[in-house]
Amino acid sequence: MDKNQIIELLKTVKYPGYKKNIIDFGMFQDAVEADGILTINLRIISDDLEKLQIVRDEVSRVLSQNAYPNTKVIIQNTMPKVETGKIQSKASHNPMDGRVKFASAKYVVAVSSAKGGVGKSTIAANIALGLVQKGYKTGLLDLDVFGPSAPMLFDINEAPLVQDEHTIYPARKYGLEIMSFGFFIEKDSPVIWRGPLVMKLVDQFLSDVRWSELDFLILDLPPGTGDVQLTLSQKIFITGAILVTTPQDLALLDVSRGANMFQKVEVPVLGIVENMSYFICDQCQALHHLFSRGGGKKESERLKVPLWGELPLSPLVMQQSDKGEPIVSAKPDTKEAQAFMRLVEKLIDTVATG
Ligand SMILES: Nc1ncnc2c1ncn2[C@@H]1O[C@H](COP(=O)(O)OP(=O)(O)OP(=O)(O)O)[C@@H](O)[C@H]1O
Ligand SMILES: [Mg+2]
């Protein structure tokens, strides 16, 4: 068998409903030939059995027409790594032993990046609003102590209701429940939180905020791989993390750094999102790729983490964030909002099987 030829052939198989093929999605694992039978191993995290069957049939068809008459297609369709609440207890020195399931949400999803300013907060907010549009009860917890975004992104200026020391109610806007460090600090005042205090605050946000019974809690994390990430992942089970990057950083190993950290703390990385990948011209609506392409794909193949999507660099995204109503809520019919909605669908697909 010729593996390169097989990969080329599989590139003609699109994932149903998408323009992208199964190779570019990183779904191909390997091809093995034994006793005259070619076995193709795919990993597709989805519980849409109909789509999986279409892929299976299409792969068999393409291969049989091209010199591989006897093929078997095996699709692994669940998360291979740890799942929420199912981490077996390890030796007692493992700092992860103390994790508890977060009581107020079925799924806790962290939006993270090793580098700052790549669009975590924008993506966290728009994904959260997209989940609301899909009918999920959703909360957004902005844990960026040093540069909280939620007050601006959602134009919330008043402090949330604090009933007593241990009862804080989240703000509500556009159908979303929102809590942020930013609600408790003066605008523009410098914030000097020391490490232990930061952890105490994270703790308090996890225990004292009265969310309703949520389907999803989306965490907007500060950049990097520091205290907040570690504290969090030691305290509660995080269903998974979404890693955000931009085309330029892919070469700089930021994604690997983020992925390594989550691996260490046993949080599965659900997907990589490449932000500001292309530009949508506000005059002609055409898509322009400003940076070299394919970095996200390469990194996702290397880390064996699916590339969930590429988001446009668009003035509209920024303007809506500045106005206090993110684009998914304000202008759901735009191409930009639809790009965010595709991520939401990936997220739902992924955790629904996890
Ligand atoms: N796709 C996009 N198109 C246009 N502007 C964007 C896009 N994504 C993010 N921005 C803008 O880039 C800036 C940084 O985004 P954002 O605050 O979401 O990044 P971040 O990763 O959360 O940053 P930090 O590391 O400081 O928390 C913001 O002004 C935001 O409006
Ligand atoms: Mg941010």
**What does the pLDDT read at residue 164?**
77
Q: How far apart are CA 11 and CA 285, in angstroms?
A: 28
The rounded distance, in Å, linking the Cα atoms of 303 and 259 is 8
- The predicted structure's pLDDT at residue 94: 46
- What three-state secondary structure class fits 286? coil
Neighbour tally for 319: CB within 10 Å:
12
Return the CATH architecture of domain 95-353. Answer: 3-Layer(aba) Sandwich (3.40)
CA 153 to CA 143: how far, in whole Å? Answer: 14
Nearest CA to ligand 1 atom 19: 119
pTM above 0.75, yes or no: no
Would the CB of 95 count as within 6 Å of ligand 1?
Answer: no
Which residue in 347, 354, 341, 275 sits closest to 109, CA to CA? 347
pLDDT along the chain (354 residues), means of 10: 92 83 83 91 77 92 92 74 34 52 87 87 97 96 86 87 83 95 70 67 86 94 78 83 80 69 82 84 73 70 82 91 96 95 93 62
pLDDT on residue 98: 64
Q: What is the pLDDT of residue 90?
A: 34
Distance from Cα 150 to the centre of ligand 1, integer Å:
12
pLDDT at 47: 64
What's the CA-to-centroid distance between 314 and ligand 1, angstroms? 11
Pocket test for ligand 1, best of 218, 244, 246, 318 (most atoms within 8 A of CB): 318
Strand, coil or helix: what is 115? coil
**What is the per-residue pLDDT for 108?**
93
Structure token digits, residue 242 = 């979404």
127 lines ligand 1 (CB under 6 A): no
**Domain extent listing, the chain:** 3-76, 95-353
DSSP 100: B
Q: What is the third-level CATH fold of 3-76?
A: GMP Synthetase; Chain A, domain 3 (3.30.300)
The set of residues, in sequence order, having a beta carbon less than 8 Å from that of 25 and lying 6+ positions away, is: 15, 18, 44, 306, 307
